[in-house]
Structure 1
Amino acid sequence: MIELSWPQVSARRLERAGLLVPKPGTPAGIVAAMCGAHAQVMSAAEVSIGLRLDGVTRAHVREALWGEPRGELRGESSLVKTYGPRGTVHVLPARDLPMWVSAMSSVPVAYNGAAESARMTPEQTERVVAAIAEVTAGAELTIDELSEAVIAATGPWAGDLVMPAFSGWWPRWRQAMGLAAHRGAFVFGPVRGRKVTYTAAPAAPAAPVMENGLSELVRSYLTAYGPATPAEFAQWAGGPVRWANAAFAAMDLEEVSLEGRRSWVLAGDTAMPGEPPRGVRLLPYFDAYVIAGRPRELLYPGAAAGRALAGGQAGNFPVLLVDGEVAGVWHQRRSGGRADVTVEPLHDLTTAQLTELGEQVERVAEVLEARPRLTVGPVTVGAHA
């Protein structure tokens, strides 16, 4: 069995992520290499994508997502925004949507913890999914418009206010939104004012369209973040371990040892960089690299775990990477045309590292189309602030 060290694996992952040297290419290409960009905070997704590409700003990402070259008429989009792994909002390549639909719709339905009186029957769920696909075709609907259309297409029962929400109750049909997205029934449309819209998914019907989508997703995941285990893939994707075990068993994989842990890579994909990772990088909220980065104790060594993880969860704090390991946190505040970036290292940085940190801050500001100002000192805001 091949023995691999953490520095080898770290360097390989960073290289494939475009985090050692920014890659040439397109937003869709780098998002494919990332296995999706977390987009619950859209500005963070723009930074995640932009930092990995030469000269790309948030305007390029928005153009790829919405087909809007700086206010002109919309054209074809190469990215889509929808519910991805773990049921969280992601930006995905439009060309890969059939794979994602196939893979995500294969995740076994989780137990519904809602009160029995609030649940939908399997038949009702299917009717809602079909209705969402039907009413979003050729339309861009706000959540209120979508709700009205789904209730009209299915029946008054779908509108019963039975789902606890942040400041009230949601209608019954909204239980099926995550499933509908994973079936390809809709994607997010462009924002209308301050309101999110929903529209038809491009090139993927509301049913799996690719028999081997799960295998292709495992292949993409292991290419980007291997070596890994089925349990780690299950945590990343949001499915049960038995589902991940079966997916790995269907693949041509090779077992390796990562710091004494049994892990797997694609068969023959065992080449590693000859040098350990070097350099300073800033990664925003919920960057794909830290979400998928396991084992956590190797990526977040020592004090980094206590400072940069929130209850063991990665992504709630933007992180400072030094030589491939989390070595601090940072926060960005936009004020007019300026981006004020505060970086809190967990240990003293060398003069060369401080110079590289300044260059990273300039790049973050370039992506955000702002003027940078760096402060090295304590970050006083909490997680996901």
Structure 2
Amino acid sequence: MTNRDARTPSGGVTWRAAAARRIARQGLDTPGGSPAGVVGAMLGAHAQVMSAAELSVALRTGGGTTREDVRSALWQERSLVKTYGPRGTVHLLPAADLPLWTGALSAVPSGAPGMPEGVRMTPEQTDAVIDAIRDALGGGEALTVDELTDAITARTGSWAGDRVMEAFQDKWPRWRQATHTAAHRGVLAFGPVRGRRVTYTSPDVTPLAGPAAVTELLARYLRAYGPSTPQWFARWLAAPRTWAARLFAEQAEAGLITEVTYEDGAAWVAAGDTAFDEGPGHRGVRLLPYFDAYAIAAQPRERLFPGAAWDRALGRGQAGNYPVVLVDGTVAGVWHQRRSGSRVTVTVEPVGPALDAPAARRELADRAERVGEVLQARAGLVVGPVTVGPHA
């Protein structure tokens, strides 16, 4: 636990104060609210591993929320949407925020081409595929990849279905390189799984105008994870750094963001949002699953993963590969859950002394019990080595 003041001698914001505000604003301090409200505060729940997304959301929602409540919000209430979000990865996003997200993500410049010559589609082909997806899914149907491939090729030509994309031990049809773009333009999202097959459906959304959407997304990002820098924002969004730097400069010129000193360096917060708690900061133990939003977005990363936690809890410098234990907003261990019937064993491997205190161990047991509640199982806690690798 750190004893640093909330503000540095230069009057800037410290890591402890920033971590406390971030944790409070996304429900990790006092869980509550609806799944959609929590996901909005997190700025999306990473859902490449769906069970991890369910944990991320339910642990912040409180009130006995389980994974079934998150699933209900997604598939019955439709207050959540599963689609491609920041960094082009699968996320849960609030349905009400989808115009904002699609408008902003469509406006982010793309980087270098991801496909080689001969595989890569031209801009005109991409537009044709997206028009075909819009038409095929416009009736509200949920189509499997094979069904959507047939619908697209019928509308564009056989070239869209050519199996030229390297994909694991298979090859995917050419059109699938446009799935992220289609999602960001608001014409495609994930539908319910049919058996073991993924389906796509139409989210039926009109994106907001790009400039206004990007401005609002940056404001929400800074409220959730500020203070931040253009480099950190670009990394979170997988956007070009030069574009992010121009965006911050424009927003600062317009008076929409404010520069502060953070950990003795320059960073930014949303205009009028400069208050940070100068008290003792967040105190408590939290268990975060794979690719949790806090572990991905909180910066500087060397303060989130201090000392030995850097080597133990990061996978080649990438956050999210291991579920992490937070103590006072800082990574103090890794953990793993293994289910057997109606029981789930939560194994926690401490990194450093932060979990040695009896009070921390009691709270850790409470957190493990809450994980079991979310998973609708009886939980048992084991403190010892986590022997599985990343993504296990």
Instruction: Give the TM-score range, shorter chain.
Output: over 0.9
> Which residue in 1 is equivalent to 2:352?
347
Work out whether 1:306 is the aligned partner of 2:311: yes
Work out whether 1:356 is the aligned partner of 2:360: no
Question: Counterparts in 2 of 1:195-210, with a 5 A limit?
Answer: 195-202=197-204, 204-205=205-206, 208-209=208-209
Match of 2:37 among 22, 25, 29: 29
Look up the SS of the partner of 1:151 in the other structure. Answer: helix
Match of 1:254 among 236, 254, 258: 258
Q: Are the structure 2 counterparts of residues 122 and 283 from structure 1 closer, same or farther at C-alpha, using a change threshold of 3 Å? A: same
Give the drift of 1:210: 6.0
Q: Distance in 2 between matches of 1:168 and 1:231?
A: 36
Runs of 5+ unmatched residues, structure 2: 1-9
Does the 8 Å CA contact 2:107/2:211 hold for their aligned counterparts? Answer: no
Work out whether 1:190 is the aligned partner of 2:195: no
Question: Counterparts in 2 of 1:35-114, with a 5 A limit?
Answer: 35-54=43-62, 55-67=64-76, 76-114=77-115
Q: Distance in 1 between matches of 2:294 and 2:212?
A: 25
Q: Distance in 1 between matches of 2:365 and 2:221?
A: 32
Work out whether 1:321 is the aligned partner of 2:308: no
Give the drift of 1:113: 3.8
Q: Distance in 2 between matches of 1:371 and 1:134?
A: 47
Q: Are the structure 2 counterparts of residues 46 and 86 from structure 1 closer, same or farther at C-alpha, using a change threshold of 3 Å? A: same
Match of 2:274 among 270, 273, 288: 270
Give the drift of 1:208: 4.7
> Which residue in 1 is equivalent to 2:213?
213
Q: Deviations over 1:292-313 (max 9, x none)?
A: 0110110100000000001110
> Which residue in 2 is equivalent to 1:369?
376
Q: Deviations over 1:253-296 (max 9, x none)?
A: 11111111210001121111222221111000000001001101
Match of 2:285 among 280, 283, 296: 280
> Which residue in 2 is equivalent to 1:133?
134
Q: Distance in 1 between matches of 2:114 and 2:48?
A: 23
With normalisation by structure 1, the TM-score equals 0.94
Does the 8 Å CA contact 1:86/1:237 hold for their aligned counterparts? Answer: yes
Give the drift of 1:377: 0.3
Q: Distance in 2 between matches of 1:245 and 1:26?
A: 34
Q: Deviations over 1:114-137 (max 9, x none)?
A: 221112111111000111121122
Does the 8 Å CA contact 2:82/2:92 hold for their aligned counterparts? Answer: yes
Give the drift of 1:175: 1.1
Number of residue-to-residue matches in the alignment: 374
> Which residue in 1 is equivalent to 2:20?
11
Give the drift of 1:92: 0.2
Give the drift of 1:315: 0.2
Does the 8 Å CA contact 1:341/1:374 hold for their aligned counterparts? Answer: yes
Q: Deviations over 1:72-93 (max 9, x none)?
A: xxxx410000000000000000
With normalisation by structure 2, the TM-score equals 0.93
Match of 1:158 among 153, 157, 160: 160
Q: Distance in 1 between matches of 2:280 and 2:303?
A: 17
Work out whether 1:229 is the aligned partner of 2:229: yes
What is the percentage of aligned positions where both structures have the same residue?
58
Runs of 5+ unmatched residues, structure 1: 68-75
> Which residue in 2 is equivalent to 1:176?
178
Superposed CA RMSD in Å reads 1.3
Give the drift of 1:221: 0.5
The code of the aligned residue for 2:373 comes to E
> Which residue in 2 is equivalent to 1:70?
none
Give the drift of 1:2: 4.3
Give the drift of 1:173: 0.9
The code of the aligned residue for 1:39 comes to A
Give the drift of 1:240: 0.5
Match of 2:385 among 368, 374, 378: 378
Q: Distance in 2 between matches of 1:150 and 1:130?
A: 9
Deviates more, 1:292-301 or 1:143-152: 143-152
Does the 8 Å CA contact 2:107/2:210 hold for their aligned counterparts? Answer: no
Q: Deviations over 1:214-265 (max 9, x none)?
A: 1111011000000000111010011101221232233311111111121000
Q: Distance in 2 between matches of 1:253 and 1:341?
A: 42
> Which residue in 2 is equivalent to 1:72?
none
